[in-house]
Amino acid sequence: MARGVRHLPVAVALLLAVPLGACSGPHGTARNVASPPAPSTPGVAASAPPSARPTPAPTPAPTHPAGGATRHFVANTGDAVGPAAGLGYNLFDTGPDPQTVAALPAGGQALVWLGDLGDENCAPPRLSFPQFSAAVDRMAGNARVFGYFLADEPHPRPCPGAVADIRARADYIRAHDPGRRSFIVVLDGTNQCGGAYGCEYAALQPAHSHVDLIGLDPYPCNVSRSTCEYGKIDDTVRRARANGAPADAIVPVFQAFGQSCAASNYYRLPGAAELRTMLAHWAALVPHPVFDYTYSWGRQGSACPTLADSPQLQAVMRTHNLNPT
């Protein structure tokens, strides 16, 4: 059964040379983002010029950055970058602001949020293509930038323009900031695929979306069971692989949140032993990802408590991040 709550979006500030306005993500979390372009027909990829949409599949980016070690990303650090870095996190969510990126801890890089494409409302892209390209141009060549987070659970079935919008942006990054990665998180599930599975993985596989990396976020711990459903991790990876996601493009997303103090209460915060088991499943399935993703350091509207609230989970993640096997 598909889970009833979408993956929770990264809360960051996008600092663009255009007027800023606040909008709410799907769970009520404010994001400061550029004012959207004039409304167009929902689901139509009208934001990218035809010249920005080459159709041939691109040459894949290298599997790992120099050095080859897995990097560790955590969402929603806000001003708590230092404490997260102390746990071994070295990839942080930021907007396209060079000063913010330059202020990251030594050895840290930015995964720059330029998202909101093909969300559940099928609204036009939050950033028009000129706004998006201006942000990439501003960051191009910055060695502290690891890559760009383009979409958090886009839904191509109800939003048929989503794939073309993502592809245009991934192609622009590859052409104008080579070496940086394009990244999306894909949900998939029976709610999204008309009672089956696999449609979103098939539609958004790198051969179609041209992205470099795809996050998978099966959250196995919920209030309906006393034990976490670790098989969801195995099933999700199997389905993604069967529907076009290459093994070396998969980014594991770890559950480090619950909802006991949030408005809804379906997911529960894992215990330390449960998180270790979760990590072991991922390690067996995707042993050396380019990066892994912990959701979430800070609270959001439907994520509470989180990693910041649990010293026990922090200890597990410190061991995972600083003592790789």
Amino acid present at 306: T
pLDDT attached to residue 16: 38
DSSP-based helix, strand, coil % in the chain, nearest 5: 30, 20, 55
Look at 139 and 125; give whichever has higher pLDDT.
Answer: 139
* pLDDT per position as a tens digit, 62-79: 444 445 799 999 999 988
Measured between alpha carbons, how far is 319 from 87 in angstroms, rounded to an integer?
Answer: 8
- Whether the pLDDT of residue 223 is over 50: the answer is yes
Measured between alpha carbons, how far is 278 from 220 in angstroms, rounded to an integer?
Answer: 8
- Going by their DSSP bridges, the two strands 109-113 and 145-152 should be labelled as parallel
Using 50, 70 and 90 to split pLDDT, how confident is the model at 291?
A: very high
Q: Are 282 and 243 in contact (CB under 8 A)?
A: no
Structure tokens that stand for 266 in this block: 């379906």
Mean pLDDT throughout 166-191? 97
pLDDT attached to residue 164: 96
The residues, any chain, with a CB within 8 Å of residue 127's CB and separated by 6 or more, are 14, 16, 33, 34, 36, 47, 114, 116, 135
- Whether the pLDDT of residue 275 is over 70: the answer is yes
* pLDDT per position as a tens digit, 296-324: 999 999 899 999 999 999 999 999 999 97
Using 50, 70 and 90 to split pLDDT, how confident is the model at 59?
A: very low
Q: Which of 24-38, 123-137, 172-186 has the lowest mean pLDDT?
A: 24-38
